[in-house]
């Protein structure tokens, strides 16, 4: 190859990197503005609720996220790095904290806004959609989907469903967010963060308000009758379902008292558990077939668990999968230009070797 051709190729690579930097900067600022506007809207609509929830979320963020970060970096170090695990964790934090801190801060503001809207949405649109959703479930499946779910999973195995849906989902959700925050791939992390923000706003606030619903577990308390009495009986007879009862009572008490409690708010359609699990499945699929199989298996498990535990109608999860699939496609197509998409290959956030 001639020197001239080499210079031309080098120039094209330089322009591609420059385009990526510009696109990342512009898209990043636009994303930041959207997240701040979302948080500001929640603060304006319900200032007391937002500020109270911000205080409530501060403690879990201060203790849970660092513990999860240490565990995740330790696992990455043992799996992929030849460095001492402690040295690897310190090097990664030292090199990446400046890029990770704004992501975590915006996530904190966003989840506080999400909960504020979730608690407030029934004030604007009272629950109304459950009858329609329950009948749609029945028409699509020939029976209430929870009855099938309980028939294929014996009580002895149901502990896995309750634990995975209640705790495993949180670990994957926060763990993936922390990974992206420290990830050294500007294009890839920006696409994920755009998809996460749009999923939270569109699914968690806009559609949840327009399709205001309680879910099967609260149906009879809010609408009367005994439509899901058999579901409540099935959960009451299951010795592993205690977390569901505890959290349901917590949400109901908070709703009746109008208190802005941590993780509060009653909303079924669409399912945010399924939405975030689906988003993470799309994202993790980029790391290879094993990651794709594990992530999509977990997403299917969460969809099943949302019905088994009684929190959601099956159609809640179906809509989440549809919306997130569209958002993932659109963020890949329009958030970044072609040069950025070409540069968005997956790589682990391994720090540069320390200088000797």
The reported pLDDT for the residue numbered 97 is 76
3-state secondary structure the chain: CCHHHHHHHHHHHHHHHHHHHHHHHHHHHHHHHHHHHHHHHHHHHCHHHHHHHHHHHHHHHHHHHHHHHHHHHHHHHHHHCCCCHHHHHHHHHHHHHHHHHHHHHHHHHHHHHHHHHHHHHHHHCCCCCHHHHHHHHHHHHCCCHHHHHHHHCCHHHHHHHHHHHHHHHHHHHHHHHHHHHHCCCHHHHHHHHHHHHHHHHHHHHHHHHHCCCCCHHHHHHHHCCCCCHHHHHHHHCCCCCHHHHHHHHHHHHHHHHCCCCCCCCCCCCCCHHHHHHHHHHHHHHHHCHHHHHHHHHHHHHHHHHHHHCCCCCHHHHHHHHHHHHHHHHHHHHHHCCHHHHHCCCCCCCCCCCCCC
**Angle subtended at Cα 225 by Cα 233 and Cα 269, rounded to the nearest 5 degrees:** 80
Residue-number span of the structural domain to which 177 is assigned: 13-342
- CA-nearest of 119, 127, 126 to 265 is 119
The reported pLDDT for the residue numbered 336 is 61
49: Cβ contacts below 8 Å, ≥ 6 apart:
116, 119, 120, 260
Residue 78 included in any domain: yes
Residues of the chain where predicted confidence (pLDDT) is lower than 50: 1-23, 338-339, 342-343, 350-351, 353-356
pTM, 2 dp: 0.86
Q: What is the pLDDT of residues 12-61, one digit of tens each?
A: 443 333 344 444 567 888 999 999 999 999 999 999 999 999 999 888 88
The reported pLDDT for the residue numbered 342 is 45
Residue 285 included in any domain: yes
Q: How many domains does the chain have?
A: 1
Terminal alpha carbon distance of the chain: 36
Residue 5 included in any domain: no
Residue 240 included in any domain: yes
Q: Are 295 and 339 in contact (CB under 8 A)?
A: no
Residue 222 included in any domain: yes
Q: What is the pLDDT of residues 214-234, one digit of tens each?
A: 999 999 999 999 999 999 999
Alpha-carbon span 164 to 302, nearest angstrom: 8
Alpha-carbon span 217 to 312, nearest angstrom: 8
The reported pLDDT for the residue numbered 11 is 43
Residue 8 included in any domain: no
The reported pLDDT for the residue numbered 354 is 46
For residue 138 the two structure tokens come to: 């029945």
Find where tokens 């997240």 sit: 35
Residue 57 included in any domain: yes
Residue 1 included in any domain: no
**Angle subtended at Cα 60 by Cα 191 and Cα 119, rounded to the nearest 5 degrees:** 75
């Amino acid at each position: 190859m001639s020197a001239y051709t080499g210079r031309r190729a080098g120039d094209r690579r330089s322009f591609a990197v420059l385009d990526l930097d510009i696109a990342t900067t512009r898209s990043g600022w636009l994303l930041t503005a959207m997240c701040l506007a979302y948080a500001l809207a929640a603060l304006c609509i319900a200032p007391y609720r937002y500020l109270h929830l911000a205080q409530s979320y501060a403690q879990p963020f201060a203790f849970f996220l660092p513990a999860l970060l240490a565990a995740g970096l330790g696992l990455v170090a043992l799996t992929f790095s030849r460095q001492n695990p402690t040295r690897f964790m310190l090097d990664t934090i030292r090199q990446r904290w400046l890029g990770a801190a704004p992501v975590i801060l915006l996530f904190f503001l966003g989840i506080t806004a999400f909960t504020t809207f979730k608690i407030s949405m029934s004030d604007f649109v009272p629950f109304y959609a459950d009858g329609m959703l329950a009948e749609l479930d029945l028409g699509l499946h020939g029976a209430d989907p929870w009855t099938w779910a309980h028939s294929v999973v014996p009580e002895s195995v149901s502990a896995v469903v309750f634990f995975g849906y209640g705790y495993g989902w949180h670990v994957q959700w926060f763990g993936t967010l922390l990974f992206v925050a420290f990830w050294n791939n500007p294009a890839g992390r920006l696409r994920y963060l755009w998809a996460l923000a749009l999923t939270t706003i569109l699914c968690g606030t806009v559609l949840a308000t327009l399709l205001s619903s309680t879910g099967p577990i609260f149906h009879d308390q809010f609408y009367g009758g005994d439509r899901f009495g058999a579901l409540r009986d099935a959960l009451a007879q299951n010795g592993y379902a205690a977390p569901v009862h505890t959290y349901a009572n917590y949400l109901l008490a908070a709703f009746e008292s109008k208190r802005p409690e941590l993780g509060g708010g009653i909303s079924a359609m669409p399912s945010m558990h399924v939405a975030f699990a689906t988003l993470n499945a799309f994202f993790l699929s980029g790391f290879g077939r094993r990651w794709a199989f594990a992530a999509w298996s977990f997403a299917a498990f969460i969809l099943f668990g949302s019905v088994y535990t009684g929190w959601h109608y099956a159609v809640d999860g179906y809509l989440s999968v549809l919306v997130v699939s569209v958002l993932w496609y659109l963020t890949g197509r329009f958030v970044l230009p072609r040069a950025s998409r070409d540069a968005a290959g997956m790589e682990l956030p391994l720090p540069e070797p320390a200088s000797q």
